[in-house]
Chain A
Amino acid sequence: MLKPLRASVRTANTLLSVYYAYMVEYRAELLLWVLSGSLPLILMGVWVEASRQEDLGLSPTEFIRYFLAVFLVRQFSVVWVIWEFEREIVEGKLSFRLLQPLDPGWHHFASHFAERFARLPFAMVLLGFFFLLYPQAFWVPNPGAIMFFVVAVALAFVLRFVMQYTFAMLAFWMERANAIEQFWFLFYLFLSGLIAPLEMFPPVLRRVVEWTPFPYMIHFPASLLMGTQVQVARSFGITLVWIAVFFVLNRLLWRKGLRRYSGMGA
């Protein structure tokens, strides 16, 4: 019982440390990738300006905090597995992975997970820079909030990963599966709270959106960090259900897809 567990821990350790090294190879690119995630910081400027002119329910300081939190969540939940997976299929690299006694998905998961740590210092520097610009927005969340936030961000990442990896499975059937991801990204952009906090949505829309997976990838963790009132238990529950749904779908498509992959010549 203990032996397989120890072996799995060792495998995970090695995968993470090697993929961390791999990501650190791209340190110059990492800075650019971090910066490319600064859309929330641009939107922050827009919303802060708007809230100064009329009462939107959130104060300018709250908007600053919200979008800084969004920036942080986004940094930890960036996923690109669909492009990688597509390339593996096109270049035939998937075949090598299939001949190893470890599900190929773990390689992708480990490389994404390791990358979080590689980009952390850059994200922190950028965050520090913004607090210099807006010292009045600086806040220290309470330890409980931080703990919940960490769990929520981890789940947000897992959800986003499983979701995109599920779309990636369609690469077995179509030449450019990332077209689906790009279409889906539109919904993600608006419904996750990346462009506007859910508090700005009409109440009916907000109630509907709360049953979709989107808010749990951005809005929910960001709200936890800010200390806004959110339904913690229900939100965690919905996140887990969506992770499970996409996971089952993923495995189903994986099995069907492999049959097709081998049918077309691997």
Chain B
Amino acid sequence: MSPIITVDDLTKVYPVAVKEPGMKGTLAHFFRRQYRNIVAVQDVSFTIEPGEIVGFLGPNGAGKTTTLKMLTGLIHPSSGQVRVADQVPFQRREAFLRTITLVMGQKQQLLWDLPTLDSLRINAAVYNIPDAEFRQRVGELADMLDLQAQLTQPVRKLSLGQRMKAELLAALLHRPTVLFLDEPTLGLDVNAQTSVRDFLRTYNHAYGATVLLTSHYMADITALCKRVLMIYQGRLIYDGSLDELLEQFSPCREITVELARERSPLDLEAIAPLQSLNGRVAHFIVPQEKLTYTISRLLAEVEVIDLTITDPPIEEVIGRVFASGTVSSQEPQDGA
């Protein structure tokens, strides 16, 4: 099977207006506006196979959204090649637009003062979905999302989670096979996050859809993605399986200890690097090779009721990758 998304040496440089603070800066800004080029994405290459769910990770401002916008054809790459479903996104041909969808957690497309169903009718008209087909698809997607009852309520009356589900329904009504999701669970509570995740998994299975997903919630990534792309300061710093990433960057373990009585953080810090201390429960993160040593010291020096050893939380691991990324990758280039 040939890849459905191919990205080669993708680069995007933005001109950004610069303004010095103060009156002098304001006047200079008014008469002679100065621009500085910011490299948002640099030489990024990857391919994605049909049906894959890929997590797209990176801190704020790393270039995730810019990359998604180039993949959906909203912005033109400064250099490099993008192909999605055998199309050049920036041409925004109808065949391409019918294949893809973009969901942005912080932006919404539904008409605020009307019921979701009305916005869906507009989408059906725009994508030329016949009435019978429309009813069937809405029924099916609403079932998957558990949203039947809310379709006739004005969007402004929906909870954040319901609204996100309604956004997903609207974005998927034309049954796209390539989904670009930018923070689809932003601001949702744990239950809503889980149901959005479950829905995405079901949709992926049902239609063999390809999904590229960014999220700040690691649970989204671990639940959905086998493979992750990691971007830092515009450069791709990792492309591979999530498991390998965890192994490569987490040769350490988390030890959780329940103490018989409270101890001062200083006492515990003396034994091993203390991550947090909550009453009588202490968390340590220690390198793999020091695991046995630390445990024996803990057992010898403090009175322990319970002790568990787990993989550290993935946020911790990703944080380490980015921290090491700072060291290895170059500063973004600024040009006048």
Contacts and interface: CB of A to CB of B under 8 A. Distances in A.
B118 A22 contact: yes
Which of under 10, 10 to 19, 20 to 34, or 35 or more describes the interface residues of A? 20 to 34
8 contacts: A10-B125, A11-B125, A11-B126, A15-B125, A18-B114, A25-B114, A92-B107, A95-B74
Nearest to A266: B74
Interface in A90-119: 91-93, 95-96, 98-102, 107
Interface in A209-266: 259, 262-266
A21 interface: yes
A14 B124 contact: yes
B121 interface: yes
B103 to A, nearest CB: 9
A25 B118 CA distance: 12
Interface string A69-103: 00000000000000000000001110110111110
B92 interface: yes
B75 A25 contact: no
A137 to B, nearest CB: 39
Contacts of A259: 76
Interface in B63-96: 66, 69, 72-76, 90, 92, 94
Nearest to B125: A14
B107 A96 contact: yes
Interface residues of B, number: 34
B127 A101 contact: yes
A264 B76 CA distance: 10
A98 B128 contact: no
B124 to A, nearest CB: 7
A1 interface: no
Contact of A99 (B14, B74, B111): B74
Interface string B123-157: 11111100000000000000000000000000000
Given A11-B125, A99-B101, A91 B75 contact: no
Contacts of B273: none
Main secondary structure of the interface of A (DSSP, over half): helix
B126 A99 contact: no
A216 B67 CA distance: 48
B205 interface: no
Contact of A11 (B72, B97, B100, B128): B128
Contacts of A92: 104, 107
A22 B122 CA distance: 12
Contacts of A266: 69, 74-75
A10 B111 CA distance: 20
Nearest to B171: A96
Nearest to B120: A18
B107 A15 contact: no
A7 interface: yes
Contact of A101 (B69, B94, B107, B121): B94
B102 interface: yes
A93 B109 contact: yes
Contacts of A21: 114, 118
